[in-house]
Amino acid sequence: MAELLGDRIRHAREVYGMSQAELSRRIKISKQAMYDIESNRTRNPGVLIVNAIADVLRVSVDALLGRGEQMASAAPTPPKRPRPRKVAPVG
């Protein structure tokens, strides 16, 4: 059986290490709506929701839709903070 949108969203969320409740809070939908999307009960969650999910999980919409691009199997590394510069001595 082919992997569906909800399955790919769940996989990306688990790889990212985020709970379903946290993802639903960040994209401003109910926990029940997020559950329905991940369990493939929602046939068409809408482009705005899929785009928001992709942005939060840092994956492409194409990867969520199963259009060629594969999702990374490891969690993305967080961006590094720039190191503070050392001040040169004066004098």
Spell out the alpha helix ranges (H) of 1-91.
5-16, 20-26, 31-38, 47-57, 61-65
- 29: left (phi > 0), else alpha (psi -120 to 50), else beta? beta
- Retrieve residue 47's tokens: 């482009």
Q: What is the pTM of this model?
A: 0.73
62 C-beta neighbours (distance < 10 Å), count: 11
Per-residue pLDDT of the chain (91 residues; tens, 9 = 90+): 568 999 999 999 999 999 999 999 999 999 999 999 999 999 899 999 999 999 999 999 999 999 875 555 444 555 666 767 777 777 6
Q: How far apart are CA 15 and CA 17, in angstroms?
A: 5
CATH superfamily membership of 5-65: lambda repressor-like DNA-binding domains (1.10.260.40)
Q: Where are the domains of the chain?
A: 5-65
pLDDT at 68: 72
